Chains A and B, each alone.
Chain A
Amino acid sequence: MAVATTPEDLAALMSRVAAGERAALRQLYEATSAKLFAVCLRILSDREESEDVLQEVYVTVWRRADRFDAARASVMTWVSTIARNRAIDRLRARGPMAYADQVEDLEIPDGGVSAEALLVTAGEEGRLHQCLSELDDRTEKVIRTAFFEGVTYEALARRMDTPLGTVKSWVRRGLAKLKGCLSQ
């Protein structure tokens, strides 16, 4: 299946979606849905709910395509932000302690990147992973877990049996380091 993959392809698709072209939305779906489905599954660990979120995401994209501003974000960031936000909202509805217990092994492949993938990833993607790996292991793990699972500070603190304030300062310090590393 020939799908649009470059950021430029996706941006061009978005302007056609904004103009009301269903075929363009379909192409955008084909190019991005597998990634977004993975994002939702990882946060919700529930297929049915993840499918519901995915449906909401593309309907939102269809309706709000005109709000997408290529000068401010890439299409992939924009759509994955919508997906993460919707999935996290659903997760929050389960309460702040969702995933406070270590989750049993999920079928979903790990979000951590494999060594070979790291070799082939270039540009920004590779750079973020490089910078994340320069953090101490614990901080890297906490930041990755927060991102991939959408868990709260409270749940993380409980899971790690560590005071909330401590987890918070790890994360904040880690994010500051990350910013420094990425800006180099």
Chain B
Amino acid sequence: MSEAPELTETEAFAAEHALGILGSDERRQAETRMASEPVFAAQVEAWRERLAPMAEAMTEVPAPHALWLRIERSLGANDNTVIERGLRFWRGATAGSLTLAAASIAAAVMLGNRPPVTLTPPPPGQLLDASLVSQSGAPVPLFVAAYDPSRKALIVTSLVTPNNDPAHVHELWVIPADGKPRPLGILQPGKTVAMPMSDKLLPSLAAGSALAVSIEPPGGSPKVDVPTGPITAVGKLAKI
């Protein structure tokens, strides 16, 4: 294999990203391109698959037993509730990997394989969800949110890759019919948070209200009721 054709610039970059040799800025650039360029994303994935056997050849190091307990506890905080399932379904749908028909079949199969269960009646209030998509370039879902009336909490998942940028945070706002934004809290990149909603905020959480995320200095917008930074993603709450 003395002569190998050179990789195109795009593929070389994809391979470098899969290898993990890029610095922070280029890594971020590669992640952004993956979100918007399917060909590039496919190349990165193909390279990950090519290189993966290296990891598989590594000598295993058993993780401490207590770690599983820790993991299990952190799953508990984001329990596999109706909301979580709703969110998961939603994510599947946006990832384009699951058509509605396929999902129904999958659900039917899943239910068919399970012992009969008594369904508890749904809690009062309305289940809502929203997908917040990027405001520049191609619309890419950056956050998903779901309101769980049984917990009076808004469960928000950030799909943004953590990049350790200490200078900025993502702040979530709800903008109900009156058009006035209300701050809901700070979101951590790549994490899911359950935000308890005060009774004062509850009326704002209705189908048709907008959720928006702005980029703010650490601690959130210095103004009480207005985002000061650019709006990065917007979505509308709708009944599930």
Residues of A at the B interface (CB closer than 8 Å) are 18-20, 22, 25-26, 29, 33-39, 41-42, 51, 54-55, 58-60, 62-67, 69, 72-74, 76-77, 80-81, 84-85, 88-89, 92-93, 96, 108-111, 113, 117, 121, 124-125, 127-129, 131-132, 134, 143-144, 146-148, 150-154, 156, 171-173, 175-182, 184
Contact between chains at B67 and A67 (CB < 8 Å)? no
A84 to B51, CA, bound (A): 12
Q: Are B23 and A147 in contact (CB under 8 A)?
A: no
- Nearest 3 A-B pairs (CB), nearest first? A34-B60, A109-B59, A180-B4
Partner of A38, one of B51, B58, B84: B58
Given A51-B64, A55-B70, A147-B51, answer yes or no on A175-B15 (Cβ-Cβ < 8 Å): yes
Instruction: Give the docked Cα–Cα distance between A157 and B210 (Å).
Output: 49
Nearest-Cβ distance from residue B118 to partner chain A, whole angstroms: 17
Residues of B contacting A152 with CB < 8 Å? 21-23
Query: Across the interface, do B24 and A92 meet the contact criterion of CB distance under 8 Å?
Result: yes
Q: What residues of chain A lie closer than 8 Å to B4, measured between beta carbons?
A: 173, 176-177, 179-181
Given A38-B59, A74-B52, A18-B19 contact (CB < 8 Å): no
CB-defined contacts of B58 to chain A, threshold 8 Å: 35, 38-39, 42, 109, 111, 148
* CA–CA, A52 and B163, complex, Å: 17
Chain A binding surface, main DSSP class: helix
Closest to A143 in B: B19
Q: In the assembly, what is the distance between CA of A33 and CA of B59, in Å?
A: 12
CA distance A129 to B16 in the complex (A): 18
Closest to B31 in A: A85
Question: Given A35-B55, A37-B61, A147 and B97 touching (CB < 8 A)?
Answer: no
Contact A92 B49 (CB under 8 A): no
A111 with B12, Cβ < 8 A, contacts A64-B91, A182-B50 known: no
| Chain B residue nearest to A125 in the complex (CB) | B53
Complex formed: what's the CA distance from A25 to B75 in Å?
10
Residues in chain B near residue A117, CB distance under 8 A:
57
Q: Report chain B residues within 8 Å CB of A60.
A: 190
Residue among A59, A84, A184 making CB contact with B75, cutoff 8 Å? A59
How many inter-chain contacts with C-beta < 8 Å in the A-B complex? 194
Chain B positions within 8 Å of A173 at CB level:
4, 6
A-B contacts, 10 of them at CB < 8 A, read A35-B60, A37-B62, A80-B55, A89-B161, A110-B59, A129-B53, A176-B4, A179-B4, A179-B15, A180-B4
CA distance A180 to B15 in the complex (A): 13
- B5 at interface by CB-CB < 8 Å: yes
Could you give, for residues 56-78 of chain B, a 1 whenever the CB lies within 8 Å of some chain A CB and a 0 otherwise? 11111111100110111011001
A84 to B55, CA, bound (A): 9
Instruction: Given A63-B88, A134-B1, A181-B1, answer yes or no on A146-B21 (Cβ-Cβ < 8 Å).
Output: yes
Smallest CB–CB gap between A171 and chain B, Å? Answer: 7
How many angstroms between the C-alpha atoms of A85 and B109 in the bound complex?
A: 34
By a CB distance below 8 angstroms, the chain A residues around B45 are: 72-73
Asked if B240 lies at the interface with its beta carbon under 8 angstroms from chain A, I say no
- Closest chain-A Cβ to B41's Cβ sits at a distance in Å of 10
B85 CB within 8 Å of chain A = yes
Q: Which residues of A contact B190 (CB under 8 A)?
A: 60
The distance in angstroms between the C-alpha atoms of A154 and B24, with both chains bound, is 11
Query: Distance in Å from the Cβ of A169 to the closest Cβ of chain B?
Result: 10
B16–A171 touching, CB < 8 Å: yes
A143 and B63 CA atoms in complex are apart in Å by: 27
Q: How far, in whole Å, are A134 and B1 apart by their CA atoms in the complex?
A: 8
Whether B57 pairs with A74 at a CB distance below 8 angstroms is: no
Decide: A113 and B57 in contact? CB cutoff 8 A: yes
- Contact digits for B190-215, partner A, Cβ 8 Å, 1 yes 0 no: 10100000000000000000000000
User: Is A148 a contact of B54 with CB atoms below 8 Å?
Assistant: yes
Q: Contacts A63-B88, A111-B58 known; A179 to B7 CB distance under 8 Å?
A: yes
B157 contacts the other chain (Cβ, under 8 Å)? yes
